[in-house]
Amino acid sequence: MKIQITGIGSYIPEKKVSNTDFSNHVFLNEDGSAFGYPNDIVINKFKGITGIDERRYADDHFTSSDMAFFASQKAIESAGIDPETIDYIIFAHNFGDVKCGTNQSDMVPSLATRVKNKLQIKNPKCVAYDILFGCPGWIEGVLQANAYIKSGMAKRCLVIGSETLSRVVDAHDRDSMIYSDGAGASIVEASDNETGMLSYESATYAMDEANYLFFGKSYNPDLDPDTRYIKMHGRKIYEFALNTVPAAMKSCLEKSGIEIDDVKKILIHQANEKMDEAIIHRFYKQYGKTPPVGIMPMSIHELGNSSVATVPTLFDLMVRGQIKDQELNKGDVLIFASVGAGMNVNAFVYRY
């Protein structure tokens, strides 16, 4: 028995924020000093590295659980199921519900419980809980659903990834331009046919790598030092990702019994275009090959990095034929992969 994603949905906020919208930002170095060169240079360098032209921010009156609800409705409709038959709601996020104008996390009750309430699911045996696993959270939620279903504890799970990163960024840190908001959701069920998950990998590296992503004070020394924002050691994360993700993907593919030439698409966390390209090249280099053209669909150019939401959103867009020059066909073998805070790495091989 395998598990299959029978429904997929996403919520992409309507508010577009282009790179030029950062032209008047006061970006500072970590020590609070000025860069010494204009923002157009900062923005051009940023675009060259990340590939991001614009990103989406949630409307002021929406929270992460609101967006998750919208995405979940679409996934449930896509699967054609009665939501009362869902056994588990697994909600991956990092910062809870953060209301506009604040950066305080609100996680009580759990965001999964809030989505269950919004969906008006009466069944008390539908268990709702959150997971914190960095950007790989949605993939890890799918792996947990796989475990529940294979053990007989569940027949059907709703797995969600949603985040409003725009509300926890330091406006004086140029890395703030990477982050965006969004939500993706999926219905995961047992499958007795040839489609579904074939293998998986998951790992946490916490000896030297645990604090590569962290909460820290603003680069503006005039702001309250006790107010914290998302921060990262970008170079260390880049090197970590290149050293761990390709190896995890290779191990996962070998477990599946699928040959590298039979992989049709790699849906990787939309973190940074240059980093993702380097990961894919290193993955294929392990087989003495170069990546086929079009193997890695991208959404980061218009949507930015919405953490746990990037992979399910990308999959939803692919299923709906909304990624230019990309398509999925029945029987295609896909690799899903992610890396993020923790430092966590995971992947699974899937026959569509």
CATH superfamily, with its number, for domain 2-194: Thiolase/Chalcone synthase (3.40.47.10)
- Give the chain's mean pLDDT: 95
H or E stretch at 301: helix 300-303
CATH fourth-level superfamily of 198-204+233-351: Thiolase/Chalcone synthase (3.40.47.10)
pLDDT at 217: 93
**Percent of the chain whose pLDDT exceeds 70:** 100
pLDDT tens sequence across 223-243 = 988 899 999 999 999 999 999
pLDDT tens-place string over residues 22-72? 998 899 999 889 888 888 898 998 999 899 999 999 999 999 999 999 999
Helix (H, G, I), strand (E, B), or coil: what is residue 60? coil
Residue 112: closest CA among 58, 166, 68: 68
- Strands in 196-204's sheet, in edge-to-edge order, are 196-204, 344-351, 333-340, 263-268
Outline which parts of the chain fall under CATH 3.40.47.10: 2-194, 198-204+233-351
Question: Quick one: pLDDT at residue 56?
Answer: 97
Model pLDDT, residue 225: 87
Instruction: Render pLDDT for 292-322 as a digit per residue (tens, 0 to 9).
Output: 999 999 999 999 999 999 999 999 999 999 9
